[in-house]
């Protein structure tokens, strides 16, 4: 199956500048193509991942991806998808984010010797930092018609509320990227989200004006991903789902995918996994015939967690998930407790022996000593997975996970995390 047919089957194509030409090009040769990300933060979230997964698919069938970190474009800010002006980051902040995103990209896409030979990672600051204002205006600005720029959706949508010259000129900078990569890296295709259509076509126009109308360059955009309820994909109750394990733990990441709606799960499997078509179709049948087994959600969660965080982190996430489901938390270590229970109600305690009933009240877990004693007597209180029914039980710091955490459960499902000071 041609890569374009595969992407269409996955529902991963929104627009192409020349479908017939792009099909022909991908059948003729190993094509160099690129996608970029601006360092607006110190981590990507799962929404950022979508176009890079498409880039990876091209790589898997023999094409040559180029990943652009936008050290230059990130310094001015892309107006795409924005209703207001961005706050400019300091140069130091941009550089910090560049380093973090570069490291993240290497972990995701440059893991093997084969990857390192096939994938190129570049920073557009390298070819813009020495560009003078006069050269910018003469060599590039001359090729951009103001009326055409104003007609681009990304600009037109901002004219009423206003747009600075800085953000207005963003499409020129991104166009310079495409031209530079076309010339130096033989890049002929740019991939981006649906909101990047105006920036991509501006780059194509610049290439044809500078290199000649016969220059073979193409653009492909990916649909805006919405959930079945019409809301934007990529957010959890706690906000964005980050690829950085310090921001979104592998357990939380796994749970995000595991909890996807039956109506969405196959779409996400097509986008975010590299499973074969036959397996995906079998999972689609399982969603229809045995939705209670949630086989598709489990497969999705395993595949994406493994891709982003690695096998060891996936196994940790599975272990925490099983411990929470069975209540057998004693098998977990302190790091796993921290990861699995970080969003539970959290309290702090000194490492001092106390009567359990009193300790629970002092922490704020129980409202009164009477209620505390009643819950203990009725077997409703567990400490680190062990039920306590002795009213005179003395809690000691040894009853903890590595001297760091105590896990209190009240009833069947109400957990509290106690951090020891």
Ranges of H-type helices in 112-238: 113-118, 125-128, 133-135, 146-151, 153-156, 165-168, 170-184, 197-211
Fold of 235-326: Tyrosyl-Transfer RNA Synthetase (1.10.240)
> Could you read off the pLDDT of 199-221 as tens digits, one per residue?
999 999 999 999 998 899 999 99
**Residue 400 β-bridge partners:** none
> Could you read off the pLDDT of 112-171 as tens digits, one per residue?
888 888 899 999 999 999 999 999 999 999 999 888 888 888 788 888 888 888 888 889
Question: Residue 407 and residue 382: Cα distance in Å, rounded?
Answer: 8
- For residue 75, which phi and psi values (nearest 5 degrees)? -75, -20
Q: Return the pLDDT at 412.
A: 81
Average pLDDT over the chain reads 90
Question: Residue 73 and residue 81: Cα distance in Å, rounded?
Answer: 15
Question: What residue ranges do the domains of the chain occupy?
Answer: 3-222, 235-326, 346-420
At 417, which helix (H) or strand (E)? strand 414-420
- For 71, half-sphere exposure in the C-beta direction (CA atoms, 13 angstrom radius) is 17
∠ CA 389-393-398 to the nearest 5 degrees? 115
Q: Return the pLDDT at 237.
A: 60
Could you tell me what percent of the chain has a pLDDT over 70? Answer: 99
Q: Return the pLDDT at 114.
A: 84
pTM: 0.84
Residue among 356, 385, 386 at smallest CA distance from 372: 356
Average pLDDT over residues 28-42: 92
Question: Residue 392 and residue 357: Cα distance in Å, rounded?
Answer: 8
Could you tell me what percent of the chain has a pLDDT over 90? Answer: 66
Q: Return the pLDDT at 238.
A: 64
Do 3-222 and 346-420 come out as alike in CATH topology?
A: no
Instruction: Choose which CATH entry (3.30.70.330, 3.10.290.10, 3.20.20.80, 3.40.50.300) describes domain 346-420.
Output: 3.10.290.10
> Could you read off the pLDDT of 250-302 as tens digits, one per residue?
999 999 999 999 999 999 999 999 999 999 999 999 999 999 999 999 999 99
Fold of 3-222: Rossmann fold (3.40.50)
Question: Residue 62 and residue 216: Cα distance in Å, rounded?
Answer: 19
Q: Return the pLDDT at 381.
A: 93
Q: Return the pLDDT at 351.
A: 92
Contact 237, 40 (CB under 8 A): no
Whether the per-residue pLDDT at 234 is higher than 80: the answer is no
Residue 401 zone, left/alpha/beta (φ > 0; ψ -120 to 50; rest): beta
Comparing 79-93, 267-281, 308-322, 354-368, the range with the smallest average pLDDT is 79-93
Q: Return the pLDDT at 2.
A: 87
Task: Retrieve residue 370's tokens.
Answer: 């009477």
Q: Return the pLDDT at 85.
A: 78
Q: Return the pLDDT at 216.
A: 92
């Amino acid at each position: 199956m041609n890569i374009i047919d595969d992407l269409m089957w996955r529902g991963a194509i929104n627009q192409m500048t020349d479908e017939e030409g792009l099909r022909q090009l991908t059948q003729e040769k190993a094509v160099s193509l690129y996608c970029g990300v601006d360092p607006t933060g110190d981590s990507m979230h799962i929404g950022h991942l979508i176009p890079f997964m498409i880039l990876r698919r091209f790589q898997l069938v023999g094409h040559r991806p180029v990943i652009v970190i936008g050290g230059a474009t990130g310094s001015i800010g892309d107006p795409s998808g924005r209703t207001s002006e961005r706050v400019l980051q300091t140069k130091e902040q941009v550089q910090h984010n560049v380093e973090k995103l570069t490291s993240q990209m290497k972990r995701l896409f440059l893991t093997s010797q084969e990857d390192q030979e096939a994938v190129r990672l570049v920073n557009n600051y390298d070819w813009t930092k020495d560009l003078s204002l006069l050269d910018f205006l003469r060599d590039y600005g001359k090729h951009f018609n103001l009326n055409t720029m104003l007609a681009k959706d990304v600009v037109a949508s901002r004219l009423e509320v206003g747009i600075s010259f800085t953000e207005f000129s963003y499409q020129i900078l991104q166009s310079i990227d495409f031209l530079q990569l076309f010339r130096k890296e033989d890049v002929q295709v740019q991939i981006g989200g649906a909101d990047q259509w105006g920036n991509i076509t501006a780059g194509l126009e610049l290439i044809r004006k500078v290199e000649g109308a016969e220059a073979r360059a193409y653009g492909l955009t990916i649909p805006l991903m919405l959930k079945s309820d019409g809301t934007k994909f990529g957010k959890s109750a706690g906000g964005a789902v980050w690829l950085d394990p310090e921001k979104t733990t592998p357990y939380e990441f796994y749970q995000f995918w595991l909890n996807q709606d039956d109506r969405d799960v196959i779409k996400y499997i097509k986008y975010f996994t590299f499973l074969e078509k036959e397996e995906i179709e079998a999972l689609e049948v399982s969603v229809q015939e045995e939705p209670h087994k949630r086989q598709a959600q489990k497969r999705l969660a395993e595949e994406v967690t493994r891709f982003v965080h690695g096998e060891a982190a996936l196994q940790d996430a599975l272990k925490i998930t099983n411990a929470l489901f069975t209540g057998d938390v004693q098998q977990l270590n302190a790091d796993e407790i921290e990861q699995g229970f970080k969003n539970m109600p959290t309290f702090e305690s000194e490492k001092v022996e106390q009567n359990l009933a009193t300790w629970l009240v002092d922490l704020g877990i129980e409202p009164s000593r009477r209620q505390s004693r009643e819950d203990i007597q009725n077997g409703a209180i567990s400490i680190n997975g062990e039920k306590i029914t002795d009213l005179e039980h003395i809690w000691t710091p040894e009853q903890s996970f590595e001297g760091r955490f105590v896990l209190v459960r009240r009833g069947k499902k109400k957990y509290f995390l106690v951090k020891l000071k």
